[in-house]
Chains A and B, each alone.
Chain A
């Protein structure tokens, strides 16, 4: 039975959304995607929808504007009412003035060549007069902080700006409800921060929002959270109550916030919701003197004085042996002359685990593409095992360096998982028995043996990402480079992917990941390279990176909660386990 909050209807306004016994089964599927879901959302409420991949979150929110069942065909049952109107036979376009929707893929929801036209698009479709459109375009752009961008081409905006534009385009129709379906998944930390600042502002203005999101910590802004699992709502609680239920969250493949995990581990009840509360509780519990720790807040000079110093040193040096790939004074300019990389010196040694971070457009992917020879330097050199990469063919390079693109669908084409993985070794002319042996070995390594005869197009995004990793591993590379390998994956899939990479790393494969996810860097990487406007601005141990306020600000990285809390206590802990062990050692 679903857990229900006593305060769920606290806002007391009239119901804006009423969902009664909604079920939906996609055409061709035997299992329903939604099983008799019911909930009510009041005017001015913000409701977050969370759950693992494939739980039915997107299907549920698509019912609110009739994309389900009008667009995605299947068997629909139940009633959806928006502002008292029952949505029954309406077309999706007729529901647009009532329910606005912002999607994850910002490229697919922008159709115009300038920002003002983009915002006016929906109003044109609904037959608004020009005067009305001019007035509303201005108001919507002001609301999302894009005033002055009217004549800009949307393609030239940053990811965060594009998503804010998508919100403005929806807001211009002044719908009763705005649904945001994973609006920050494809954004860098700066873009995420922009979108969440906008959501906070909309909350203060009394908007009725439905927000689908993987990151629980970001959902504290909501009034209620619906947890969806296997097409059912298994909990409907305020964020503070839900986040205290660590076991429930983990059973739903959600990442419990660091503060909740910490409170659980330290036995602090009730669970604290803010860093200030957590700091007070820990200081009281462990009798940490405020003045004593304040005297040790000089993070940049000496990262983590409360942690054993040797550990930091070990992190810096661990695994750094001979350089497998070496980049010397690398400069790369686009054909039109704009510099993408400038004077980069960088090396990856065997057994290293490196995270490349930085804002969108900082040069991370361009650098990575040089490491596999997809791009050739304008100036400088890339050496692979001491040999100049420019003298090797891409195929020769790929025997030593594997590259996994952000979108696994850019390489998948075969009829079965096994065929897909065997494609690379076959291209290199390996004998059939050797191809079979390698395929079997890498499928076992990535945990896909049972799916070897499956059509890869029918797998989940996490599984397809693992197929892509397996395909790269099948060439026995000594270095594996992954461009944002966890984008769009839920917590369970993210952790599974990272554990796979850790396992490969233990086996001797050097790992280089490009990522925007702070907790992944904190938990798994050992070295951070930070890019900013085509230049390398930091290259060092993870702890040193998280200890520097300036670097964090420039990268727009949001500190993992546990790291932020530990810094308040004069430490730089990267994981909950680490902070717990330090605190317990002190006590």
Chain B
């Protein structure tokens, strides 16, 4: 075999926090040959992105390469002058970021951003590059390829933007592309389109790529080889099929095992029993834009109802109607057989207490300047009137329920907690009101799989102990499989299917449920190829236009 295109040797990277330098990457080696795709996986904090950027000779502010070498096609990048690195970036090495919506400049049109790198690096002229953009947009099956480039980023949907960004990375026909979690922010159905597009284009141009993700099933579709990282250390590396079939290390096996968590479905509630919560013919709109159309579903005592659907399907809007933040235009919300006032301001304190919420981003849902005890103590005091010692005892009790040691965590600020711990505090805050019903809005989607599993187990235990009912909003069908008793599938503001979990995962399904289920990546490396063959390429294009 010829010399590798990218050769990383004994690379040590550290990042500054406060006044000290902490290690991020510890002596990692990496080889990548022309036309090869390497999958880089690990949980957050594993240093995947840092390593990906370092492969471009780039470090973010506050991060530095302590020692080691990054050699791209014989050119040493670590010690090279900035101008040398700039002459390679955007020309021979390109980058595709996690959120295309944030990584496209909002002030410029897509096609201008496409042509920027080739024009600036003198690869081709503006006219030529723009014609080339249209060609690539067509190849990536973007709708209306002649025109789409002349739109601004906010005028294009997320999945389309991600494909436009892949096209942009290709604009100078680089030898190497770094894909940094390019589908993490997308719905499963959109993810397939982007995955297929990326794989096609990488194969067509014989481009080498590093594909960074935390999703094993995704990496199985994309990579020839997989490297596993844990807190900056390499755990193991192997050919994809070999790694999937026979992981050598304990840590890798634990990653593989996460998806196995499944709670048995509880027996169905007998007909005629009054549900704890009934959403009865609810329609709602934001201003004049209707978002919910005649939505019906019931949630019974001690049960978990998963509400699934893609972004924009009205899941969170339904939650806002239930909590009274968004009064419905039609229909009622019944709690224990009684209609609740539509507006939360007209609900009694006890009605408010019964329904609590846990949010997706624990980071933004917790006041950063309050300690854990204050965050949890506030609702305790508000709803129960406890003070002093009794209040402290109740807070400690709640901390124990969420499995955080009161002594250690009571006085910490949110910034001193990990993502999973913050989410636990969010749960304790909801429990503080002693509710019977909790709405969990994508509570695990910002967390790593191992941590997410811990949260799901905690919620399940609390349900058994306290008899809680959950409405579990999610777009992740693996989570549904793990925790739900019943499932409500939503699309464009309507409920398209609902029923017991076990029935849902067994065919026949509603066509849309089927699309959702079949779009969830599986660990089989041939899954994407087979699925594409099954659906036919045309169908994927249709799925794309469907979403606009």
Q: State yes or no: do A and B come from one complex.
A: no
Residues of B at the A interface (CB closer than 8 Å) are none
Residues of A at the B interface (CB closer than 8 Å) are none
